[in-house]
Structure 1
Amino acid sequence: MNRRRVLLVVGMIVSLSGCVNRLPYDAWYLGLFAPSYMEVWIETADAVDVHDRVFRRAMSGVASINTSKNLKGNPRGWPDSPGAGAGKLVLGADLPRLIYVRWQSLVEPQTYEAYIPIPEATRQAMLKSERTYCAADGKWITDYRDMVIVGLAPGGIARVWVRGACLKPFDVARVEGTVVKLGPDSGRSGGQYALPLKPSSKAYIEKYGIPYGSW
């Protein structure tokens, strides 16, 4: 093999190794939720990893939400310890650099989009293992904060945490999204939103309104 071919092969190996994922687990999870009764339809949640690879529609559909019929749910503010939300594993991705979400806030109704940068300090935290007690099975385990959780609220508010299955979440960012002028489904639905409000959500809004400013 001549010198030129050797350099070419070495260059290809270096290039490929630069995109090798450095995760100590198989994949990280992207989950989304909304405050009680503040129903959301996710048109797309895209992830961009540190190699600038784009994972489109890493999540879409209905966000996790409490719509109990007794209207006892409290949509004001965010929970101290948000759960996993509705989501999926982002298979093949390295650590996240950016999350893009476009969603329909069904209670307003309005369509928003938000670009959520993930800081380097957060990525480093996602690589750090911690010994912790897991109440779910009563065992001490080694856990990672391998879950990126996004809360979506009326007014275009997106709030982000990272957590592990048995590790407490910590706050990453709060982003104010912008209105998508084309409307739901990028204008292809003729202004029609994806889903009607559930009766309990409709009843809550009619009785108490939307608690803007609490998120």
Structure 2
Amino acid sequence: MKILLLAFSLLVFLAGCTGQPVQDPLRPPPPDLPYRTWQIGLLAPNYMEVWVESVDVLDQRGIGYYRVHGGVSSIQNPPDNRGDPRGWPARPGVGATRPMTGIDLPEMVFVRWQSLAEPQTYRVRIDIPEWVRQELVTPHSAFCRLDGQYHTLYRRTVTVGLAPGGIAKAWLTGACLEPIEIGRFVGSIHPDGPDEGRTNGRYALPLAPEAQQYIDSHGIPFDSW
């Protein structure tokens, strides 16, 4: 520890002489990305509400980041059973997003979540292949209907869909760009159940009335995801 402190003091002194910023030797350097940060988004099928206890990321440098995202996902609960939860949308949105500030491109994403529709607690590991990391930093010229202009844009969001039965699906998404499927992943029941530290060992939220009405009327289409 004394050696590290002496080394850091020397770096500070040298930086003062050169006018250059100093990188803390105890922290990794910021990732070299063509944008400020990439994102993780969370979504769920209509009525199949979830509570995400934690999202953990292992980046391509081998550095782990814990509980970088969580809470509710993006979901729709149309009244009078007018929504169809079966399957995944052909063009999923980015979901409920959170920026992965200071985190390099992902190698693995781990999600622990409560499927409130059942209820059950699951965990899943999502492996991110190299082609996904390459696509995350590949620019595309895309037309945006919002302003009628072409822009240089990136698919910089890893969107994770979470469904009953422990099913997860992941896409690369970005504004004005078509999503690309990363893969379908099958999680496992977490043997400890709901996280004692975060939800006192209970399921976090009751189902919305519209979600409860749909499940009471139609059940859960487990085989559709």
1:72 matches 2:77: no
Q: Superposition pairs for residues 40-79 of structure 1, below 5 Å? A: 40-79=50-89
* CA–CA separation in structure 1 for the residues paired with 2:189 and 2:92: 25
- SS for the counterpart of 1:70 is helix
* CA–CA separation in structure 2 for the residues paired with 1:135 and 1:59: 30
**Paired positions, count:** 205
1:150 matches 2:169: no
Q: Report how far residue 179 of structure 1 moved.
A: 0.3
- SS for the counterpart of 1:73 is coil
- TM (normalized to structure 1)? 0.89
- SS for the counterpart of 1:200 is helix
Aligned mate of 1:197, from 207, 217, 220: 207
Percent sequence identity is 47
Q: Which residues of structure 2 form unaligned runs of 5+?
A: 1-6, 12-22
Aligned to 1:184: 194
* CA–CA separation in structure 2 for the residues paired with 1:47 and 1:165: 23
Q: Superposition pairs for residues 48-127 of structure 1, below 5 Å? A: 48-127=58-137
* CA–CA separation in structure 2 for the residues paired with 1:19 and 1:175: 32
CA contact (8 A) 1:113 1:178 kept: yes
Q: Which residue type is aligned with residue 132 of structure 1? A: A
* CA–CA separation in structure 1 for the residues paired with 2:198 and 2:49: 21
Deviations 1:127-148 (A, max 9, x none): 1101010112211000001011
Q: Which residues of structure 1 form unaligned runs of 5+?
A: none
- TM (normalized to structure 2)? 0.85
Deviations 1:8-56 (A, max 9, x none): x9xxx9x99x955121110001100000000000001112211122222
* CA–CA separation in structure 1 for the residues paired with 2:140 and 2:97: 23
CA contact (8 A) 1:149 1:160 kept: yes
* CA–CA separation in structure 1 for the residues paired with 2:96 and 2:140: 25
1:213 matches 2:223: yes
